[in-house]
Amino acid sequence: MAGTDDHKVVFSGKKREATSDFDGDDLIVAKKSASGHVSSWEDPVAAIASARHEFGEHGGVNMSIEASATFTVMEPETMRRMFSGELGPDRDFFIYSRHFNPTVLNLSRQMAALEGTEAAYCTASGMSAISSVLMQLCSSGDHVVASRSLYGGTYALLKHFLPRASNVTTTFVDVKDHGMVRDAIVEGRTKVLYVETIANPTLAVANVPELCRIAHNKGVKVVVDNTFAPIVLSPARLGADVVVHSISKYVSGGADIIAGAVCGPESLVNSMMDLHQGTLMLLGPTMNAKVAFELAERLPHLGLRMKEHCHRALVYATRMKKLGLKVIYPGLKEHPQHDLLKSMANRDYGFGGILCVDMETEDRANKLMHHLQNCTQFGFMAVSLGYYETLMSCSGSSTSSEMNAEDKALSGISPGLVRMSIGYNGTLEQKWSQFEKAIARMQDSGILIKN
Ligand SMILES: Cc1ncc(COP(=O)(O)O)c(C=O)c1O
């Protein structure tokens, strides 16, 4: 069995422990199963490549799938020791897959490497990752300060669900206004500051280092949703305590899987898996091992995919602006947080793969999407993002429909805002000509005025 300098050769499964291939050091690496720690963290792509490569049970280049709900023990005493916490996944002892599953741990290790955190744990959806981490960090009576520019589901969770179900309340703020953030923190009661790196759908960019400074000064943990900017931004490297993901988007890239992740300190992940008090353990938003395997095959090319998403988004945003469209894209110099994003971003990956075109009214937004999908095949009318095809939706009436009109206006969501997740299918020029054709048709029919 061969390995590279970077890749320690590690076999999964207790049966392998007795073989001479498995030396003591490898055993220790194998046992840091939730940890994605790499010694020289340069950027997320390098970190993913440096994470331990897991080979299959029979020497396959891909890891085996541990498709078991439950695990056997050789001695009855072992079961008691596992339940008491004395023997755990760090020593290759597994109880039950809602708790820890080796294949899910392998994906979790990749996610921890991606975000440069000590550990990570993968879940059945992005929402379950978000709700579980918030419920772990907050108890009844606690308070959250959150950005008012958030994915609609997260907004509804904080605004409606958590106050009812857990007596955890939220103050929504403009995170660009650091004074407002500071004033909203109630010392002793506020436990979490919650933001999205690049907000859905407004594409406002959060100043992660400064927000972390403000929060940490008051003993508040910072939880950052990095769904819109994997690879591009590394919030934990900028000071965030916890990074959450909807893996369903860019990390998956296939628009075929719903999944999520919590990336953070090992102590947090362990607390979330605690048999008595852990939200992941007790609410059970468990990822299936077969899903974890599928996703683990996609992490190695996430960097390449992000580069192309970002490249095309920048080219299209620049050209759309020239056509006279009202484009919002943080890669454009005139975006209010362009310099901030540049100062925080990992080098050479770009500024995100999402852009917005503000058509001002829902009717004009719908007409644009109709032409782009049904007349010229530029993309699909669908929510979500990170797919190889371009996906378009009118956010105000879809993924932000949970917000009332006032909150939408406050967060800057115009009724005609069309969010586009730029794909990389086909050639850049082929797709651009489809976009131009749709615009020309709209101009011919008087919906858009020629520039
Ligand atoms: C920024 C963001 N966070 C979280 C979620 C929720 O993720 P999931 O659909 O995987 O539960 C979404 C979208 O659905 C999102 O856009």
Does residue 126 line the site of ligand 1, with CB under 6 A? yes
pLDDT score for 160: 97
Q: Which two tokens stand for residue 332?
A: 């454009």
pLDDT score for 93: 96
- pLDDT truncated to tens, each residue of the chain (451 aa)? 333 334 333 334 443 343 333 333 332 233 343 444 444 567 999 999 999 999 999 999 999 999 999 999 999 999 999 999 999 998 999 999 999 999 999 999 999 999 999 999 999 999 999 999 999 999 999 999 999 999 999 999 999 999 999 999 999 999 999 999 999 999 999 999 999 999 999 999 999 999 999 999 999 999 999 999 999 999 999 999 999 999 999 999 999 999 999 999 999 999 999 999 999 999 999 999 999 999 999 999 999 999 999 999 999 999 999 999 999 999 999 999 999 999 999 999 999 999 999 999 999 999 999 999 999 999 999 999 999 999 999 998 898 888 889 989 988 899 999 999 999 999 999 999 999 999 999 999 888 887 7
3-state secondary structure of 195: strand
CATH of domain 93-299: 3.40.640.10
Side-chain-side CA neighbours of residue 423 (13 Å): 22
Query: What single-letter DSSP state applies at residue 63?
Result: P
pLDDT score for 41: 64
pLDDT score for 255: 98
Ligand 1 mean position, distance from CA 46 (Å): 26
What residues does CATH 3.90.1150.10 cover in the chain? 301-444
The CATH number corresponding to 301-444 among 3.30.565.10, 3.40.50.150, 3.90.1170.50, 3.90.1150.10 equals 3.90.1150.10
The values of phi and psi at residue 427, to 5°, are: -90, 160
Beta-bridge partners for 244 = 225, 262
Q: Which two tokens stand for residue 4?
A: 């590279």
What residues does CATH 3.40.640.10 cover in the chain? 93-299
Q: Which two tokens stand for residue 243?
A: 């990074």
Pocket test of ligand 1: the residue of 133, 226, 227 to mutate, having most ligand atoms within 8 Å of its CB, is 227
The strand pair at 354-358 and 417-421 is best described as: antiparallel
Nearest CA to ligand 1 atom 7: 126
How wide is the angle at C-alpha 300 spanned by C-alphas 341 and 22, nearest 5°?
130
Does residue 261 line the site of ligand 1, with CB under 6 A? no
Torsion of CA 185, 190, 191, 192, to 10 degrees: -50
Nearest CA to ligand 1 atom 15: 151
Query: Which of 98, 118, 95, 93 shows the shortest CA–CA distance to 34?
Result: 118
What pTM did the predictor assign? 0.92
Q: Which two tokens stand for residue 20?
A: 């001479």
Does residue 66 line the site of ligand 1, with CB under 6 A? no
Does residue 293 line the site of ligand 1, with CB under 6 A? no
